[in-house]
Amino acid sequence: MASITHPVTSDYRGRIAPSPTGYLHVGHARTFWTAYERARAAGGAMVFRMEDLDAQRSRDEFAEAAMEDLRWLGIRWQEGPDVGGRCGPYYQSRRRMIYIDVWRRLLRGGFIYPCKCSRRDLAAATSAPHEDLGSNAEMLDDEPVYPGTCRPAEYVATTGVEILEGINWRFRVPDGELISFWDQYLGRVNYVAGRDFGDFLVWRRDGVPSYQLACVADDAAMRITEVVRGADLLKSTARQILLNRALGFEDPKWYHCPLVVDHNGQRLAKRHDSLSLRTLRQQGLTPMNILAAEMPRAV
């Protein structure tokens, strides 16, 4: 398929950042389309970043399918895994040195501490912690507030100990501080650190950076000026604002898209195979059907 991109006439830089852990669904299509439309309207560049840090769940097959499905939908990008660009590599699995550097800066600044808490806390850490806003189980998938078991009494700036395996690292949030930001779609959004979210993981004991760390490192390194993503990541935005502040990175603008829910009011997940772009394409739906307001019925 021809891959003609729109001309870039401004400094706006947007991104789409799928995790190749399954086939993309209608919700992804709508969010990524919004990101693309906003970049195009601003005369800005679109960056495609493959968020394949989770080696257990990421598969090449899904990465290829994500690019293919989004191209089929009509989305084009100036930079990405398949086309390269000045801010590459565009696979997170190949950007480890960048993440280690950011982790080291957090360590030296006294913003993070080692944590020995068990595996159970880790489940949500490499993948983006999507909140389940579609049911009454609010925060179902979000990283739980850390009880503070390993949190040292004071900030400690460490230079000597650099352990990246076998121990978790957490960011100490400023308890009680209001984290307030302007969302281009939702308006003012407020969270309280330590109440709405707690000390979150920046590095996992299996040697992998968390989604939060990798995301801010990449958005800064790729000079992203506006982040467009689903409303289930609003609390991640609050966490990322704290990381940006600690690292001296400028915040991008934020735009959180409303979530697509199925007929039971549940947020779509990659397990909803019947609503995957693959399946819908096979059933003969067009990009227009998929982007239209009416939700296709799950079969």
Minimum CB separation of residue 262 from ligand GLU in Å reads 17
Q: 17 vs 65, which CB is nearer to ligand GLU?
A: 17
Provide CB contacts within 8 A for 277, sequence distance 6+.
23, 24, 25, 26, 28, 29, 69, 72, 73, 290
Fill in the per-residue mask, 1 to 40: x = in contact with ligand GLU (CB under 6 A), - = not in contact.
----------------xxx---------------------
Comparing CB distances to ligand GLU, the nearer of 128 and 277 is 128
How long a stretch of residues is the chain? 299
Cα dihedral sign, 202-205-207-211: negative
SS3 (DSSP) at 85: coil
Nearer to ligand GLU, 96 or 151 (CB): 96
For ligand GLU (CB under 6 A), the number of binding residues is 8
The tokens of 92 are what? 């997170």
Choice between 107 and 210, CB closer to ligand GLU: 210
For the bound state, the minimum distance from the C-beta of residue 233 to ligand GLU, rounded and expressed in Å, comes to: 6
Query: Which residues does residue 98 pair with via DSSP β-bridges, in sequence order?
Result: none
Return the percent helix, strand and coil in the chain, to nearest 5.
30, 20, 50
Three-state secondary-structure class, residue 52 = coil
Query: Scanning residues 43 to 102, which ones bind ligand GLU (CB under 6 A)?
Result: 51
Site for ligand GLU in 202-261 (CB under 6 A): 215, 229, 233
Nearer to ligand GLU, 114 or 258 (CB): 258
Shortest separation between residue 52's beta carbon and ligand GLU, angstroms: 9
H helices of the chain, in order, are 26-41, 60-73, 96-108, 211-221, 234-247, 277-282, 287-291
Does position 128 bind ligand GLU by CB under 6 A? yes
**φ, ψ for residue 80, nearest 5 deg:** 170, 180
* Least separation in angstroms between CB 108 and ligand GLU: 26
CB of 199 to ligand GLU, least distance (A): 20
Chain residues in the site for ligand GLU (CB under 6 A): 17-19, 51, 128, 215, 229, 233
